[in-house]
């Protein structure tokens, strides 16, 4: 019977374009869009930003600053170009202010509000670095460090060498592909897609209630609880298949398309168990919502709406570490967050003990949702009568 049930639900999903869209296309599109959007390297982003610099054009500091700004990768354009993203103006007292601090605000920077806040911040930080180098350059110049160096590029090389701090620092924990911004969100979008199984489940339950199929089934030698569990198992198997497909696409295909290393599964058993628990929680939650709704409109609004809100709260759309503390702490109570975290733990090779907390939370959430869903389903089924 389970085989027939799985077959039936699979055919119903395959024949429903909306279901296919939300279960496969939606998460794949999200993964592709988000990874592509985040795959642009900083150097490529900087190259796109045009900067015009004006004022005190005949001083050496002006040329040196131009050099450092261009060296950071900015597109330095003619100062008469009004279309530039950033305008920098040297005020008359700049040279004196640079080392001696005789006056404030001698370098005016206007950044176009067409740039996003994140890019504006990045531009501001890079320009400050350019100014710091210019200041070091001026200091070294005053100290006679360039007495035997003639060209600006040679002087700048000396400045860069003096300002270099890379030799002091060793970064650790960023040696996996998952730490790349572009690929970090892939597990999140996989979870997002898996949780959207609420829509096909709702559609089938509503249809069965409305067209008399459920009444008919009540006269068969199977209890409503048995039927419900059978249905949940069927969708569970289909959801596991969906998880497998999304794993192949998200971990292998998309990184390859982006020219990056595939996301390796460092702790495969943990990743597999994580998948089981993610599916379990998604199915239980979906059945709870599907049992509550009575119409297709309700299913779309409640099922879709709750999932989108939960994804937003779970840090899928805005990283949790940039959220205010209150929101970040709310996120840690979200099942989608636990699900994405435990999948990342499997990918990054965390120990079982570390992942146990998320697995346990998902299990408790699943049991509570499933029991509530079963109770509501049975209650509603008992109310069904012959029309």
Name 122's Cβ contacts closer than 8 Å, sequence gap at least 6: 42, 45, 46
Task: Output 102 or 213, the one with its CB closest to another protein.
Answer: 213
* Residues of this chain, 325-384, that bind another protein according to CB under 8 A: 384
Q: 10 Å Cβ neighbour count for 166?
A: 6
Task: Output 211 or 329, the one with its CB closest to another protein.
Answer: 211
Minimum distance from residue 228 beta carbon to another protein (Å): 13
Q: Whose CA is closest to 71, among 52, 47, 92, 93?
A: 47
Total residues at interface with another protein (CB under 8 A): 26
Taken in order 36, 42, 43, 48, is the CA torsion positive or negative? positive
Distances (CA, A) of 353 to 203, 214, 270, 335, 349: 39, 44, 10, 19, 12
Instruction: Tell me 258's DSSP state.
Output: T
DSSP output for 110-158: EE-TTS-HHHHHHHHHHHHHHHHHHHHHHHHHHTTTTTT--SHHHHHHH
Coil/strand/helix, residue 86: strand
Member of 36, 217, 248, 356 binding another protein (CB under 8 A): 217
Q: Does 225 bind another protein (CB under 8 A)?
A: no
Member of 20, 38, 222, 292 binding another protein (CB under 8 A): 222
Task: Output 12 or 136, the one with its CB closest to another protein.
Answer: 12
Q: Which stretch binds another protein (CB under 8 A): 74-82, 160-168, 208-216, 239-247?
A: 208-216
Q: Which stretch binds another protein (CB under 8 A): 126-134, 209-217, 344-352, 370-378?
A: 209-217
* Residues of this chain, 95-154, that bind another protein according to CB under 8 A: none
Distance between the two ends of the chain, CA-based, in angstroms?
Answer: 28
Minimum distance from residue 284 beta carbon to another protein (Å): 24
Q: 10 Å Cβ neighbour count for 307?
A: 24
Member of 32, 215, 229, 258 binding another protein (CB under 8 A): 215
Task: Output 82 or 385, the one with its CB closest to another protein.
Answer: 385
Member of 5, 93, 180, 260 binding another protein (CB under 8 A): 5
Member of 8, 18, 41, 379 binding another protein (CB under 8 A): 8
How many whole angstroms separate alpha carbon 127 and alpha carbon 98? 15
Member of 1, 257, 356, 368 binding another protein (CB under 8 A): 1
How many whole angstroms separate alpha carbon 213 and alpha carbon 74? 66
* Residues of this chain, 178-207, that bind another protein according to CB under 8 A: 207
Name 133's Cβ contacts closer than 8 Å, sequence gap at least 6: 68, 156, 159, 160, 163
Minimum distance from residue 224 beta carbon to another protein (Å): 11
Task: Output 85 or 208, the one with its CB closest to another protein.
Answer: 208
DSSP output for 199-250: HHHHHHHHHHHHTSHHHHHHTSSS-HHHHHHHHHHHHHHHHHHHHHHHHIII
Q: Which stretch binds another protein (CB under 8 A): 7-15, 181-189, 319-327, 367-375?
A: 7-15
Member of 17, 219, 321, 325 binding another protein (CB under 8 A): 219
Q: Whose CA is closest to 52, among 70, 37, 34?
A: 70
Q: Does 295 bind another protein (CB under 8 A)?
A: no
Task: Output 9 or 141, the one with its CB closest to another protein.
Answer: 9
Member of 36, 216, 248, 318 binding another protein (CB under 8 A): 216
How many whole angstroms separate alpha carbon 343 and alpha carbon 279? 11
Which residues of the shown chain bind another protein in the complex (CB under 8 A)?
1, 4-5, 7-8, 11-12, 15-16, 207, 210-213, 215-222, 384-387
């Amino acid at each position: 019977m389970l085989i027939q049930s799985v077959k039936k639900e699979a055919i119903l999903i395959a024949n429903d374009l909306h279901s296919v869209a939300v279960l496969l296309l939606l998460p794949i599109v999200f993964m592709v869009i988000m990874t592509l959007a985040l795959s642009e390297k900083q150097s490529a982003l900087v190259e796109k930003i045009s900067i015009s610099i004006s004022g005190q054009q005949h001083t050496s500091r002006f040329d040196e600053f131009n050099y450092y700004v261009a060296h950071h990768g900015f597109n330095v354009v003619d100062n008469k170009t009004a279309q530039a993203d950033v305008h920098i103006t040297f005020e008359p007292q700049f040279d004196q202010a640079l080392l001696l601090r005789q006056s404030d605000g001698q370098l005016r920077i206007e950044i176009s509000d067409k740039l996003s806040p994140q890019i504006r911040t990045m531009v501001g930080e890079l320009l400050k670095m350019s100014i710091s180098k210019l200041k070091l350059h001026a200091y070294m110049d005053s100290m006679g460090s360039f007495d035997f160096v003639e060209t600006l590029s040679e002087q700048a090389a000396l400045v860069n060498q003096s300002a270099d701090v890379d030799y002091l620092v060793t970064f650790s924990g960023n040696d996996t592909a998952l730490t790349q911004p572009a690929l970090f969100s892939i597990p999140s979008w996989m979870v997002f897609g898996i949780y959207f199984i609420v829509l096909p489940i709702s559609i089938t339950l509503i249809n069965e209630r409305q067209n008399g199929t459920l009444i008919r089934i009540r006269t068969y030698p199977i209890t409503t609880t048995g039927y419900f569990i059978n249905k949940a198992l069927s969708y569970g198997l289909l959801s596991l298949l969906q998880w497998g497909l999304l794993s192949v696409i998200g971990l292998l295909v998309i990184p390859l398309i982006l020219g990056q290393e595939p996301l390796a599964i460092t702790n495969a058993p943990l990743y597999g168990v994580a998948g089981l628990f993610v599916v379990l929680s998604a199915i239980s939650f979906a059945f709870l919502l599907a049992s509550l709704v009575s119409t297709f409109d309700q299913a779309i609004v409640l099922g879709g709406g709750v999932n989108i809100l939960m994804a937003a709260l779970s840090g899928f759309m805005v990283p949790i570490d940039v959220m205010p503390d209150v929101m970040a702490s709310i996120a840690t109570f979200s099942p989608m967050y636990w699900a994405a975290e435990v999948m990342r733990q499997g990918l990054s090779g965390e120990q079982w003990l570390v992942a146990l907390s998320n697995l346990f939370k998902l299990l408790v959430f699943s049991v509570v949702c499933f029991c509530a869903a079963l109770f509501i389903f049975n209650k509603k089924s008992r109310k069904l009568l012959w029309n």
